[in-house]
Amino acid sequence: MLLESIKRGDTVLEAKGITKRFPGVLANDQINFEIKAGEIHAILGENGAGKTTLMNILFGLYQPDEGEIYLYGEKVNFKSPLDAIEHGIGMVHQNRKLIPAHSVIENIILGHPRAGNVLNLKRAGKEITELCDKYGFKIDLKAKVWQLSEGEKQVVEILKALYRGAKILILDEPTSALAPPETKRLLESIQIMTNDELAIVPFITHKLPIVLEVSERVTVLRRGKVTARLETKDTTEKSLAREMVGREVIFRMERVEVEKGKPILQVENLSALNDKGVLALKGVSFSVHEGEIFGIAGVSGNGQQVLAEVLAGLRDAEGGTLLFDDINILHNSSLERWLKGIGYIPSERVDVGSIGDFSLVENVAMNYYFDKKYAKGGVVDYKKIRKLTEEMIAEYDIAAPSPDTTAKSLSGGNLQKLILARVLSRKPRLLIANLPTQGLDVGASEFVQNKLMEAKKERAGILLISEDLDEVLSLSDRVAPMYEGKFMGIIPGGEARREVVGAMMAGLKPKVDEI
Amino acid sequence: MKLGSYEIKLEKRVALRGWEATAISTFAILFALVVFSFVFVQAGVDPLTGYKEIFSFAFLSSFGLPLTINRFIFLLLCTYAFIIPMRAGLWNIGMAGQLYAGMLSAFAVAFAFGGKGSQGLTLSPGFVIPLMIVAAIVGSAASGAIAGFLKGKFNTNEIVVTMMINFITFWVVARMIKEGGLFMGSSGEGEGFKLSEYLFAPLIKGIPFTVFIALGLGVLLWFLFAKTKLGYQIKVYGKNPIAAKYAGISPSKIPVMVFSLGGLIAGLAGYHYFAAVPGVYKITKNYGEFGDLAFYGIICGLISQGNPLAAIPIALLFGGLTNGGRFAQGKLKLGFGIDYALLGVLMITLVAFQFFYRYKIVFVKTEKEK
């Protein structure tokens, strides 16, 4: 079949009986699916369902053990991603693979066969500008990548694939790091692209509703198998989640009403520098009460991380006051804060929250070695901590063969459960949860959210930092959208409207009557 | 790779048990000895005779064994001086400087209380000897603490700092024992004064009592890392300083702590060699050689992977080989440097075999073709 003669609705790619085994794991088990020209075909599945493996096979990174791939009716056998690219398959990875110090245009033409040894930036610039105009992308080609927002970087990745002539575009978690307005713009562009008979295949674990808005068909994977092939119009968010997880998932967490207690944390005009020495937290004031979830909504990099670190005692403040239980703790060390009852769940669960080479017991000890009940006279009671770890594994349903397993062998969701179990077991009076469900699939996210709600019931004050607008809105009693180191306001959670909070996250001041 | 109906594969080890590590190291030593036999053959010596001379002198002769033991104590202490910062992910290259600092402090005490040669002691030896040890500990710990403080406070590279302190201390020793320095010996031949015989460290069956300190420290350090809160903090910091900070561990305290402790133990090595080994009892002209020998502590520490108990047999082996190798070289009229060559081969093999700490070779029976 000639590329030019492809019409909307023709099958462009067909996978038959794809099977891929890894030692001890059947990652893909007889997967069949097809993609048609001009459609957006979502592939749903939890972490570990086999999506990544499938995607890597389509993109030539892995070769399947069994099964065949047909492209435009012809059997193909991709030996490498370069092969796949030459056949018109483009892929945008979740972790952006761009060079921050280079400009947008340099990144786009990097590795392009036509770039050669002498760069013809002028011609490339003209062609890329045409692509942008056609699909409605707005981007400054001369800007350096490090200056771009996450959404803009995503656009650069997409342009890169398109410029290399991609006819089938695979997107891995395309909206996971984007603010709502950026997501909206991206989805609009994606829809325009399909007019050109481009097939677009987003892989998704979370944020079901947004992408389902635009997709026409959905294939659901669970444990390496296709469990459902559906027309999007016949589905609901709930039914898709059920297919994906294999059980009912509660979407809107019922906000438990707990009588609000006295303020446990009072923050006044707090400011701090980031690692580059730039003022990244610019005077925020708020309080968190007992039995309250105070949500901070915002796109990463707007000062949330700095705020969390200052509160946890991991970063010095530039100014302001910080009262915990009416006592100034601004100059307390992180250890003193743990001992006072401030628990911190860091966003970097691998690099900060745990130690990969350590056993689970030793990881649990991170929050217990200083506890007199678990370490008498300078000697750590590892037996007791081991027992505690076993209890956590049972209660939190952590998939680990034994407490002696190393933390690095746990999946992201299980590691997060361990950290959550460890921090919550200290019964903190104030819990700082920084992106607690980031990168987790629907099932694990739900678990974590439930546990936060339980902690609230036990009258802990909780500061929830999240990029996921739905999560913040459904869990929080009050929400503060954060933009460039400042709160754009503090709104009661129940009344907050999605669009308003989304706009505030992007730096827009709401009109009074909108709130 | 295929071998008959079996396929040989490398498989990543999930966990390494103690006996597996021991077996791998033992096999590495045997392998090194086999490899080195070729050097003996090349030199026209029967390898078995060569090894017999080395080992029987080092471990069986009444003259060689005490030398081996003295070296062993010295090496073991240097190894511990290296291991403690190593567990915190930091490199102590300053054992030489620290042991000189300990040595100088101990001799300063002896000097202050009239322990120089035949002068009369102004206090009883029962008081001065412990004071010398305490001085050695404090002096060397202070020397180590400098690197630790700079690391914790300003994130200065500890390797560079400890290295520099080595040079500085080396020359301070030279200033003290040569050309009219305070500690110059009566002969004026560039060595320090001889200790009053009242200040000779006690011997137990001809062996300096410091052997108990060294072995006792082995057990103590094992306990430190396996059971104590401080040991846990050091390990967390060593694996990930940022996670350590999150867990409430002070990122400035740990470097000071480990370098003080490491330095303290290096100081004991200085005290041991220059004030407790029979026949020495002075800062010798060749003190620089012992500074160099201290670097074997790094090798022993790396081979034992920071395990204080595993360091004991390794330090004993290296102590014996440095000693027996030199002896055999003279007796069998081998070329210069052959003793170092043996140590070199051994080190490389031991380090190379640590590959098997992470991987194991498995034989898989291949399925018959369909």
Query: What pLDDT digit, counting tens, does each position of B123-142 carry?
Result: 788 899 999 999 999 999 99
Cβ neighbors of A462 (< 8 A, separation 6 or more) are A288, A292, A293, A294, A430, A431, A433, A452, A455, A456
How much is the mean pLDDT over chain A?
86
Contact A338 B248 (CB under 8 A): yes
Among the partner-chain residues B229, B236, B248, the one whose CB lies closest to the CB of A375 is B229
Instruction: State the helix-helix crossing angle for B125-154 and B253-271, rounded to 10 degrees.
Output: 150
Task: Please give the interface size between A and B, counted as residue pairs whose CB atoms are below 8 Å apart.
Answer: 63
Shared-domain flag, residues A173 and A271: no
The total of structural domains in chain B comes to 1
Query: What pLDDT digit, counting tens, does each position of B42-70 carry?
Result: 888 899 999 999 999 999 999 999 999 99
Contact B229 A378 (CB under 8 A): yes
Contact of B250 with chain A, judged by CB distance below 8 Å, is answered with yes
Query: What pLDDT digit, counting tens, does each position of A86-124 carry?
Result: 888 888 887 667 888 888 988 888 877 766 666 677 888
Shared-domain flag, residues A420 and A433: no
DSSP string, A260-283: --SEEEEEEEEEEE-TTS-EEEEE
Q: Which two tokens stand for residue A150?
A: 């996450």
Nearest residue in chain B measured CA to CA from A310: B246
Query: How confident is residue A23, by pLDDT bands cut at 50, 70 and 90?
Result: low
Reference B241, options A314, A254, A122, A207; nearest CA is: A314
Shared-domain flag, residues A235 and A170: yes
Contact A380 B236 (CB under 8 A): no
Contact of A380 with chain B, judged by CB distance below 8 Å, is answered with yes
A255: exposed, middle or buried (Cβ count in 10 Å: 0-12, 13-18, 19+): middle
pLDDT at A256: 77
pLDDT at B365: 73
Contact of A381 with chain B, judged by CB distance below 8 Å, is answered with no
- A179 or A42: which leads in pLDDT: A42
Strand A461-466 relative to strand A430-434, pairing: parallel
Nearest residue in chain B measured CA to CA from A309: B246
Cβ neighbors of B344 (< 8 A, separation 6 or more) are none
Query: What pLDDT digit, counting tens, does each position of B2-58 carry?
Result: 677 777 777 777 677 778 888 898 999 999 999 999 999 988 889 999 999 999 999
Which among A379, A406, A426 is the end of a domain?
A426
Looking at chain A, the whole-number percentage of residues with pLDDT higher than 70 is: 92
B14 DSSP β-pair partners: none
Contact of A334 with chain B, judged by CB distance below 8 Å, is answered with yes
Query: How confident is residue B119, by pLDDT bands cut at 50, 70 and 90?
Result: low
Say yes or no to pLDDT of B368 above 60: no
Contact of B248 with chain A, judged by CB distance below 8 Å, is answered with yes
Q: Which of B232, B237, B253 to mutate to test the interface with A (most CBs of A within 10 A)?
A: B232
> Is B347 within a domain?
no
Shared-domain flag, residues A372 and A446: no
- Residues in chain B with CB shorter than 8 Å from the CB of A380 are 227-229, 232
A231-239 average pLDDT score? 81
pLDDT at A515: 47
Say yes or no to pLDDT of A2 above 60: no
Interatomic CA distance for residues A142 and A503, integer angstroms: 27
Nearest residue in chain A measured CA to CA from B230: A378
Contact of A371 with chain B, judged by CB distance below 8 Å, is answered with no
Query: How confident is residue B77, by pLDDT bands cut at 50, 70 and 90?
Result: very high
- Residues in chain B with CB shorter than 8 Å from the CB of A367 are 247
Contact B247 A369 (CB under 8 A): yes
Interatomic CA distance for residues B149 and A39, integer angstroms: 63
Shared-domain flag, residues A332 and A363: no
Contact of A302 with chain B, judged by CB distance below 8 Å, is answered with no
| Whether B255 contacts B148, CB under 8 Å | yes
Consecutive H or E run containing B126: helix B125-154
- A57 or A113: which leads in pLDDT: A57
In the stretch 4-63 of chain B, residues with CB closer than 8 A to chain A read 14-15
- A7 or A268: which leads in pLDDT: A268
pLDDT at A249: 65
Among the partner-chain residues B15, B229, B248, the one whose CB lies closest to the CB of A333 is B248
> Is A480 within a domain?
yes
CA distances from A57 to A18, A201, A213, B197, B351 (A): 9, 14, 27, 80, 39
For chain B, the first-to-last Cα distance in angstroms comes to 20
The amino acid at residue B53 is E
Shared-domain flag, residues A336 and A355: no
Which among A426, A461, A496 is the end of a domain?
A426
Shared-domain flag, residues A415 and A439: no
Among the partner-chain residues B14, B235, B248, the one whose CB lies closest to the CB of A370 is B248
- Residues in chain B with CB shorter than 8 Å from the CB of A378 are 228-230
A375-387 average pLDDT score? 95
Residue that is written with structure tokens 């029976």 in the block: B365
pLDDT at A511: 59
> Is A388 within a domain?
yes
Among the partner-chain residues A334, A369, A409, the one whose CB lies closest to the CB of B229 is A369
Residue that is written with structure tokens 């005692």 in the block: A313
Cβ neighbors of A189 (< 8 A, separation 6 or more) are A135, A136, A137, A155, A158
Cβ neighbors of A308 (< 8 A, separation 6 or more) are A344, A346, A347, A432, A434, A463, A465
A130-155 average pLDDT score? 84
Q: Which of A352, A374, A381, A385 to mutate to test the interface with B (most CBs of B within 10 A)?
A: A352
The amino acid at residue B144 is G
Q: Which of A45-54, A432-441, B165-174 has the lowest mean pLDDT?
A: A45-54
- B290 or A205: which leads in pLDDT: B290
Query: What pLDDT digit, counting tens, does each position of A12-21 carry?
Result: 889 899 998 8
B229-245 average pLDDT score? 95
* Domain around B152: 76-304
Shared-domain flag, residues A172 and A205: yes
Say yes or no to pLDDT of B80 above 90: yes
Contact of A332 with chain B, judged by CB distance below 8 Å, is answered with no
> Is A239 within a domain?
yes
Nearest residue in chain A measured CA to CA from B232: A369
Among the partner-chain residues A314, A355, A409, the one whose CB lies closest to the CB of B240 is A355
Interatomic CA distance for residues B20 and B16, integer angstroms: 6
pLDDT at B295: 92
Cα A41 → chain centroid? 21
- Residues in chain B with CB shorter than 8 Å from the CB of A384 are none
pLDDT at A513: 53
Shared-domain flag, residues A229 and A326: no
Interatomic CA distance for residues A439 and B255, integer angstroms: 35
- ipTM of the complex as predicted: 0.86
- Residues in chain A with CB shorter than 8 Å from the CB of B362 are none
| Whether A8 contacts A37, CB under 8 Å | yes
A464-486 average pLDDT score? 89
Interatomic CA distance for residues B129 and B106, integer angstroms: 9
Query: How confident is residue B117, by pLDDT bands cut at 50, 70 and 90?
Result: low
> Is B259 within a domain?
yes
Instruction: State the helix-helix crossing angle for B125-154 and B95-112, rounded to 10 degrees.
Output: 140
Query: What pLDDT digit, counting tens, does each position of B242-293 carry?
Result: 999 999 999 999 999 999 999 999 999 999 999 999 988 999 988 988 888 8
CA distances from A512 to A301, A396, A506 (A): 27, 43, 17
Which among A400, A426, A452 is the end of a domain?
A426
Q: Which of A360, A379, A415, A422 to mutate to test the interface with B (most CBs of B within 10 A)?
A: A379
Contact B250 A335 (CB under 8 A): yes
| Whether A245 contacts A443, CB under 8 Å | yes
Query: How confident is residue A497, by pLDDT bands cut at 50, 70 and 90?
Result: confident
Reference A466, options A234, A263, A318, A298; nearest CA is: A298
- B298 or A82: which leads in pLDDT: B298
Residue A74 three-state SS: strand
The amino acid at residue A515 is I
Query: What pLDDT digit, counting tens, does each position of A242-272 carry?
Result: 887 777 666 566 677 888 889 999 999 999 9
Shared-domain flag, residues A371 and A331: no
Query: What pLDDT digit, counting tens, does each position of A304-337 carry?
Result: 999 999 999 999 999 999 999 999 999 999 999 9
Residue that is written with structure tokens 């420290």 in the block: B217
Contact of A333 with chain B, judged by CB distance below 8 Å, is answered with yes
Among the partner-chain residues B14, B15, B227, the one whose CB lies closest to the CB of A380 is B227
Among the partner-chain residues A351, A367, A382, the one whose CB lies closest to the CB of B247 is A367
Interatomic CA distance for residues B54 and B81, integer angstroms: 28
Query: What pLDDT digit, counting tens, does each position of A190-202 carry?
Result: 888 888 777 778 7
Strand B203-204 relative to strand A491-492, pairing: unpaired
The total of structural domains in chain A comes to 3
Reference A180, options A209, A217, A137, A205; nearest CA is: A209
Interatomic CA distance for residues A83 and A85, integer angstroms: 5
* Domain around A176: 3-245
CA distance A383 to chain B (A): 10
Shared-domain flag, residues A74 and A146: yes
pLDDT at B369: 45
Shared-domain flag, residues A354 and A460: no
Query: How confident is residue A225, by pLDDT bands cut at 50, 70 and 90?
Result: confident
Q: What is the pTM of this model?
A: 0.80
CA distances from B117 to A76, A260, B104 (A): 90, 81, 16
